[in-house]
Amino acid sequence: MPDTRPARAPRSLYDEGCIAAHALDLLGDRWALLVIRELMLGAKRFSLIRAGLPGISASVLTQRLEGLEAGGVLHRVQMPEPAGVQVYELTPRGYAVWPVIEALCRWGATLPGHDPSKHISPSALMLSMRAMAAPQNAPCAVIHAGFDLGRESFRGTLVAGSWHVERGPAEGDILFAGTANLIAAVVYGKRPLDHWLAQDAPRFQGDPALGQRFVDHFHLRRA
């Protein structure tokens, strides 16, 4: 069961009355927003959170989780048997951070120097697609798509110009399988889907024409 104790006020990093500074007292620590990002599509075990953040140490991740829990952004949940493991899950306050992450994705896409060859976590890719979906390119029909990204899998629906995605079995009209970095190149790159399918990377199931219509929907919209 989640911990229902009232959240403690975060320590003050900036000692200001500004409400933006007040929010940053909780979110301004290094890695804090990215920890929230990793939980935005569902609860995870400590090891899976860390897998999405390869640059963080176990001790720092523990500190960030404890701080965010104290601030009411996430809580620990004991899963029932047979799993019986502890996971971390966002609270409503944590999920309410999504507009901040979405705005950072869109703003970051306009900045020079982005290197897409660096590590991209599966959750980061799915959320970037959620943020960067282009409504003007909305398909005529609803498209259900699944992604098998190794330790994490997702299923989502592209409808009315929006990408709605959740963690779960990779299932849908079209299926992609590969690393998050590879799928990011397929979705955001300039090469057509047929180029990738000819190399069998990523693995793909479904109608290639439907797959192309799907990936055409997403753009980084760089300046």
Residue 6 in contact with residue 21, Cβ under 8 Å? no
Sheet containing 143-148, strands listed edge to edge, beginning at the edge strand earlier in sequence: 162-167, 153-159, 143-148, 174-177, 203-205
| pLDDT for 219 beyond 80 | yes
Question: Which position has the higher pLDDT, 8 or 211?
Answer: 211
pLDDT exceeding 70 applies to what percent of the chain? 91
Q: Which amino acid is at 32?
A: A
Q: Which CATH superfamily hosts domain 114-215? A: SCP2 sterol-binding domain (3.30.1050.10)
At the top level of CATH, the class of 19-96 is mainly alpha
The pTM score is: 0.89
pLDDT in tens, 56-113: 999 999 999 999 999 999 999 988 777 778 999 999 999 999 999 999 999 999 998 8
Sign of the alpha-carbon torsion through 105, 30, 77, 9: negative
Mean pLDDT of 182-199: 93
User: Buried b vs exposed e over 99-113: b needs ≥16 C-beta within 10 Å?
Assistant: eebbeebeeebeeee
Is the separation of the CB atoms in 111 and 41 below 8 Å?
no
CATH 1.10.10.10 range(s) for the chain read 19-96
147 with 121: CB under 8 angstroms? Answer: no
